[in-house]
Amino acid sequence: METIQLSRKDQIDQTATALFRTRGFAATSMRELAAALGMEAGSIYSHIRSKEELLHRICFRLADEFFAGFDEATTDTALPAAPRLRRAVESHVRVLTTDVAASAVFLHEWRHLSEPARTEFLALRERYEAGFRELIAEGASAGELYAPDPAFAALTLLASLNWLPTWYRPGGSLTPPDIAHRLANQLLFGLEVRC
């Protein structure tokens, strides 16, 4: 097992992500973060400008990754909406499982961003949700999907996915692609036996 060499700044980002995830942004002190890094609190400021900068970087980096994944999953407009939706779901799960800690921070700690970052962040999130909404609406129009209320369906769908970081632990019996596949199936086919 080989560990790649991280710059000190990246180490700080990574440790901060883990702490923000388990203890929350507000409940994590710079002295705790420093201790986890084996240094003193003041020393961190040779690498960053403020505590919030750490949160800002985590949240907006993840936003970028979600967008990149979605775009890549849905570029093939020749495909019907349903399989494109499935690919978008799988991409979302891939981002979540690749970086669970950062995802949890992205999902739960953004509200500690101060303005204008907070508003900017919420706009990004809304735009991302709109992508799913439109995909579902397109599938419903084409008769591929049953979704009387695409907005509602999109919320529920993302909800199921976004809860993942609260229970997923790397190294479990299910691999990320397994999880993605199962989630997509369960969401697209439901639980009830039909036909």
Residues touching DNA, count (CB under 7 A): 23
Q: Which stretch binds a copy of itself (CB under 8 A): 8-16, 45-53, 65-73, 136-144?
A: 136-144
Q: Residue 140: CB partners within 8 Å, gap ≥ 6?
A: 146, 147, 148, 150
22, 50, 175, 185: residue in contact with DNA (rule CB under 7 A): 50
Closer by beta carbon to a copy of itself, 35 or else 188: 188
- Asked if 49 interacts with DNA (CB under 7 A), we say yes
Could you tell me which stretch among 28-36, 61-69, 106-114, 116-124 binds DNA (CB under 7 A)?
A: 28-36
- In the complex with DNA, the residue whose CB is nearer, 30 or 117, is 30
Residue 191 touches which member of a copy of itself, DNA, none, C-beta under 5-8 Å by kind = a copy of itself
What sign for the dihedral angle of Cα 143, 148, 150, 156? Answer: negative
Query: Does 146 contact a copy of itself by CB under 8 A?
Result: yes
Stretch that binds a copy of itself, among 2-10, 46-54, 56-64, 180-188 (CB under 8 A): 180-188
Nearest CA-CA partner of 50 in 117, 128, 122: 117
Of 32-40, 49-57, 58-66, 104-112, which segment contacts a copy of itself by CB under 8 A? 104-112
C-alpha count within 13 angstroms, C-beta hemisphere, residue 54: 29
The residue count for binding a copy of itself (CB under 8 A) is: 45
What CA–CA distance (Å, rounded) separates 121 from 96?
18
Omega prior to 148 cis, within 30 of 0: no
- What burial class does residue 19 get, using C-beta atoms within 10 Å of its C-beta: 0-12 exposed, 13-18 middle, 19+ buried? buried
Give the span between the Cα atoms of 19 and 68, in whole angstroms: 26
The residues of the shown chain that bind DNA, judged by CB under 7 A, are: 7-9, 28-32, 34, 38-47, 49-52
